[in-house]
Amino acid sequence: MAKILVIRLSAIGDVAMTVPVIYSAAKANPQHTFTVLTQAFLIPVFMNRPANVDVIGINTKGAEKTLGGLLRFASALVNYEYDIVLDLHNVIRTMIIRSLFRIKGKNVYVVDKARKERKMLTARNHKVFKPLRPVIERYADVFRAAGLNYTEIFTSLYESRPADLSAMQEVAGEKRGKWIGIAPFAKHRGKIYPVDCMEQVVARLSEHEGYTIFLLGGRGYEEAVLEQWAFQYPRVKSIVGLYSLDNELALISQLDVLLCMDSANMHFASLVGTKVVSIWGATHPYAGFYGYHQDPDNVVQLDLPCRPCSVFGQKPCYRGDWACMAQVMPEMVIKKVKKVLD
């Protein structure tokens, strides 16, 4: 029996993508124990986990933000005597943590992030436009390199226990007709469909009496926009700030389709087996971050020679017009959503 530490600190979507791999590996290796180290606020994502999986939290925006805080945390972690360390993140913070384990003679295995290939895929000139190995497969490669059995068997966070829907009854009500989730925002501008265009999508879909639309987003500006849409259009409800993450996942599991960006919500939907229609701009599924077991035909994107220009969508548009998103017509999005629903 081995004690295995699995590290993935951020980002939200990337942590979500570890779930199918960790759960599959844990079930394939019941004689071992797996401890996941991630951001404390993301612990609820690892719900209904196998009995041999535990999760511990770190706060890199709080106590562990500084080098001193990180070293104190890592020094305490080393005392738990893990036999194997799997670094699925491979950034400065995880390099520091894994180095302490290496000093103690522990076996450490690190994900290959294919930085060179990603740079070639997003190059402005001499772009090498071909699909890279999916990130989930890269995670699985780390488990295989450690000599662990691995068979991909994950289907849903709720495969062993049904979603608890009680918390959502007051707002969502009983399900009638089709439920559509819309998550129109992302962390970076290069991954966000223009707000006025998405409003047209919401307005058109809300005209259908058989559809109920749930809007997902964050606090502040996003909340204000979504609450305005919910007020303005029939059968549209904003759930911003109403549910904890685990309850939001339960609601997503009941949707007939989720319309979103290349964002964490795409991965949340993938974890609960909900179909996704996703809009891609500066980024591209070829970079390997497409949702787990999602249908590639449900991607909305334009074939432009400049795409992709970024792996994560944070770079400014060198054309200056954000054509990759601005030229996606609302009719294209609506058609794709209705195709999935039909």
Residue 108 vs residues 37, 39, 62, 99, 255: alpha-carbon distances, Å = 15, 20, 27, 9, 40
pLDDT at residue 17 in the model: 98
How far is Cα 328 from Cα 325, in angstroms, rounded to an integer?
Answer: 5
User: Which residues are CB-contacts of 55 (< 8 A; sequence separation ≥ 6)?
Assistant: 35, 36, 37, 38, 43, 46, 49
Query: What's the CA gap between 152 and 140, in Å, rounded?
Result: 9
Residue 154 tokens, joined: 């994950």
Q: Which pLDDT score, from 0 to 100, does residue 172 have? A: 84
The answer to whether residues 182 and 216 touch, using CB atoms and an 8 Å cutoff, is yes
Angle of the 264-271 helix axis to the 245-253 helix axis, nearest 10? 70
Q: What are the start-end ranges of the E strands in 113-190?
A: 178-183
Q: Where are the beta strands (DSSP E) in 216-325?
A: 236-238, 257-261, 276-279, 299-300
Predicted local confidence at residue 173, as pLDDT: 85
Each residue's pLDDT tens digit in the chain (342 positions)?
999 999 999 999 999 999 999 999 999 999 999 999 999 999 999 999 999 999 999 999 999 999 999 999 999 999 999 999 999 999 999 999 999 999 999 999 999 999 999 999 999 999 999 999 999 999 999 999 999 999 999 999 999 888 988 888 888 888 999 999 999 999 999 999 999 999 999 999 999 999 999 999 999 999 999 999 999 999 999 999 999 999 999 999 999 999 999 999 999 999 999 999 999 999 999 999 999 999 999 999 999 999 999 999 999 999 999 999 999 999 999 999 999 999
- Per-residue pLDDT, 171: 84
Tell me if 235 sits within 8 A of 177, measured CB to CB: no
Q: Which residues of 79-113 are buried (b: 16+ CB within 10 A; e: fewer)?
A: eeebebbbbbbbeebbeebbeebeeeebbbbbbeb
